[in-house]
Amino acid sequence: MKGNRTLTIIKPDAVQNGNTGNIIQKITDAGFKIIAMKYSHLSTSQAGKFYAVHSERPFYQELVHFMTSGPVVPMILEKENAVESFRNLIGATNPANAAEGTIRKAYATSVERNAVHGSDSDENAAIEGSFFFSTLEQF
Ligand code: CMP
């Protein structure tokens, strides 16, 4: 059964560029309900843990550096089939491949500075939700 929650992060590039409000509007216009949200500045240790799955990848250090370069806005979102539906809304990881109308097409500037994160599975949605919102029992 598909889950109904996912975790997103509005990344430092989008926050810095003043796109937080526009991105939240697109998310709610697409029918997602915001269950939890905060404004946060990740430490190197926190960003390193969040992206630990990528620790062997060549872009890991740069990714951690970027994700700690300014504030982020993590959110837990709710909608039927949330993970897949949200990944369709945000578009491809690399904005050069992102479809028209997607959040990354509108606001991302590179594969690293790609405006938003979206969980890639129900299992990771639960893990990533707990990472930012430890008091929510559902995650
Ligand atoms: P995200 O969906 O947050 O999950 C992992 C992130 O790693 C991804 O978005 C990109 O921001 C980043 N990433 C993936 N591939 C590359 C790459 N080739 N170069 C730099 N960053 C990357």
> Is 117 an annotated catalytic residue?
yes
What value does the CA radius of gyration of the chain take, rounded to a whole number of Å? 14
The protein residue with its alpha carbon nearest to ligand 1, atom 4, reads: 117
pLDDT of residue 137: 53
Determine the topology of domain 5-132 in CATH: Alpha-Beta Plaits (3.30.70)
Q: Which residues of the chain have pLDDT under 70?
A: 1, 135-139
pLDDT of residue 3: 87
- Of 4, 3, 23, the C-alpha closest to 13 is 23
Decide if 118 contacts 125 (C-beta within 8 A).
no
Residues with CB under 6 A from ligand 1: 54, 59, 63, 93, 111-112, 114, 117
**Best probe residue, ligand 1, of 111, 116, 128 (max atoms within 8 Å of C-beta):** 111
Domain ranges across the chain: 5-132
pLDDT of residue 2: 76
